[in-house]
Amino acid sequence: MTDEPNAPVAKRVPHERTHHGDTVIDEYAWLAEKDDPDTLGYLKAENAYTEAMTAHLASLREKLFGEIRQRTQETDLSVPYRMGHFWYYSRTVEGQQYPIYCRVPLADPAQTTPPATGDGGPLPGEEILLDGNALADGHEFFALGAFDVSPDGNRLAFSTDFTGDERFTLKIKDLRSGEVLADEVPDTFYGTAWSYDGGTLFYLTVDDAWRPYRVWRHTVGTPTSEDVIVYEELDERFWVGVDLTRSQRYVLIEAGSKITSEVRVIPSDDPTAEPALIAPRRQGVEYSVEHHGHRFLILHNDGAEDFELAYTSVDNPTGWATMVPHEPGTRLESVDAFAEHLVISLRRDGLSGLRILPLGETDGYDMRFPEPIYSVNIDSNPEYQTGLVRLRYTSLTTPESVYDYDLATGELILRKRKPVKPGPDGREFDPADYEQHREWALADDGTRVPISLIRRKGTPRDGSAPCVLYGYGSYEASMDPWFSVPRLSLLDRGMVFAVAHVRGGGELGRHWYENGKLLAKKNTFTDFVACAQHLAKAGWTSADRLVARGGSAGGLLMGAVANLAPQAFTAIVAEVPFVDPLTSILDPSLPLTVMEWEEWGNPLADPEVYAYMKSYSPYENVSAVDYPAVLAASSLNDTRVLYHEPTKWVARLRAAAPGGHYLLKTEMGAGHGGPSGRYDAWKDEAFIAAWVLDHVGLAD
């Protein structure tokens, strides 16, 4: 490449920070001033530089975008789910960015087979509830927060965000007249719940730190100024949620920190009743509640690290009787209650699973699936009285598949597998052309760390194949195998794709999470490096062909391994990366900070936590070494990981280790999830894929 433009140089304005006797000079702290013209000018300069440095990839980006679009059935229909007297579904139309949300009446009350069309077009008798494209018209960004139909099917609560900051405006639509009512509430959060008669709506608002802390009750047709606060959470560690049980008999108000929870219930047919407490919070005890007939089901970890299932009386919920006892190594994650059966979502040996418990039984049975690596979870199942369980299944080689499981016969009925159209070579997609593997890396402390990987058959295993290694490793979130249409463009060019299931995630149970948080957080980073080294040693790739990728807390992982083992990677993609964690966690006025102390520790109060976080913070530990090439992606309106974290990181990388390849790409009108429209998201993915291919020598 010739005539490369000069990289932007951020001005240095010394800012002093002192904690526990340690003084730090942050010369780029000024970039946190979002409204400062210098900040906006610098971000625009970085975007222009990134565009100039990737201009030679423009044709490849277009080609990759074309491949994604070519393989995707653009006009498509989701599998309708039944609720009340209707089938509900969404559909997409070729050329349109957003889904259209619809319903059709049941043809027969006994109908269990969802309707479908061969071409993905509208179903006969369709009623459009919301058209995302119409709502998004004239806006650069659009996201739907709530989409909640009342139990009687007469009203729809929905909320919209047009900036990406996840502050939603809540509205109500009368589905009988099609009129959007005057009832409108700004600055709401995700989560709503209807009363049984559809006359009352519960919703959430946030405090200045973006913490949902208030549950409100609104009577439809009354001024929102008359809305009543039903519950307010004063403890800044706790996040509040609201939901309606599947039975539609109780509104749940859930308050939870990272390690403690508390639930209250309101009868949905008596929405003005005082919330009744199920069990008072106890530090370190987590529990969730589901309603099932005469009892509440309680999934909890009181003396049960991987959780057990108990029940208590609806009339007097004072004692918990065990239903499914604790089994170390089998993490019970949730329970779904239906009239005649329960479904427990669980995790064992690094794989997700489902256990069926027919009414009156305690042992039940676990569903079996044929692939060695897969992901399965409960899908939309709003009906309480049903003999079918709707589930969603995928793997690295199997496109997302929707099944109905017949509880009476044990039959697994495939309702739809996401279509994958022929690629550039005109060949039909065939899962048999690809192979998936489970590998195990050995961490420094002897822990075996699972890796899931996929490659196209025939890809050499002699160290010559380039590879993308993806990781996350926080909040007990499991990176279960998933199918990706954009990934096919990499695999078909000879790349390997791998997922490192590092500690801090939840793949191997609660202990896997506990050993990757707080003062054990560095295990997340060393596990990822061990996975990278294993892939090279086993011949799947080599260090000079290996690209690391992660986002959000996974972006922290990217920044940490860049400092820890820069020689292990040729390039790093860090999306909305949490790379300045110490600065953020030291500031309780920032969004989410206080709630995060139980994940990372409280460096304000504890000098040991402060020193530990400082020792791994990517921004704090940038040094004059040969870093891999870095592509950092951010969003100006992100409220989860603020844009200035990757901005400061790239500025410091460029100053401390000049001569490296460091790019920053900031979405100026989006939030944590990046571009909102599907075509914009595909273009964003094509941009990253082209950059990756360029750095492993596969750019066309």
Residues annotated as catalytic (active site), given as ranges? 552, 638, 672
Distance between start and end Cα atoms, the chain = 15
Q: Tokens 């900036």 correspond to what residue? A: 163
Q: What are phi and psi of 413, to 5 degrees?
A: -100, 115
Task: Name beta bridge partners: 223.
Answer: none
* Burial (CB count within 10 angstroms: exposed 0-12, middle 13-18, buried 19+), residue 446: exposed
| Stretch (H or E) spanning 59 | helix 58-71
Nearest CA-CA partner of 504 in 488, 529, 523? 523
Q: How far apart are CA 671 and CA 634, in angstroms?
A: 8
Nearest CA-CA partner of 394 in 504, 500, 485? 485
Q: How far apart are CA 275 and CA 402, in angstroms?
A: 37
Token pair of 188 as six digits: 């709401």
- 307, 217 Cβ separation under 8 angstroms: no
3-state secondary structure 245-309: CCCCCEEEEEEECCCCEEEEEEECCCCCCCCEECCCCCCCCCEEEEEECCEEEEEECCCCCCCEE
For residue 170, CA distances in Å to 167, 207, 248 come to 10, 17, 21
Nearest CA-CA partner of 415 in 430, 425, 426, 405? 405
Q: Tokens 């005649």 correspond to what residue? A: 340
3-state secondary structure 140-163: CCCEEEEEEECCCCCEEEEEEECC
Most distant pair of Cα atoms in the chain: their distance: 76
Q: What are phi and psi of 543, to 5 degrees?
A: -60, -40
- In terms of DSSP H, where are the helices of 81-220? 132-136
Residues 6+ apart with CB under 8 A from 271: 195, 199, 200, 202, 217, 251
Task: Name beta bridge partners: 91.
Answer: 77, 100
Token pair of 493 as six digits: 């060019």
Single-letter code of the amino acid located at 550: G
- In terms of DSSP H, where are the helices of 519-574? 522-537, 553-564
Q: Tokens 């957080």 correspond to what residue? A: 521
- 122, 141 Cβ separation under 8 angstroms: no
Q: How far apart are CA 254 and CA 242, in angstroms?
A: 6
Please state whether beta strands 22-25 and 16-19 pair in parallel, antiparallel, or not at all (unpaired): antiparallel
* Burial (CB count within 10 angstroms: exposed 0-12, middle 13-18, buried 19+), residue 208: exposed
Residues 6+ apart with CB under 8 A from 28: 10, 12, 13, 647, 648, 651, 652
Token pair of 449 as six digits: 């760390």
Q: Tokens 């273009």 correspond to what residue? A: 683
Q: How far apart are CA 102 and CA 115, in angstroms?
A: 13
Token pair of 79 as six digits: 């599998």
- 394, 400 Cβ separation under 8 angstroms: yes
Q: How far apart are CA 412 and CA 404, in angstroms?
A: 6
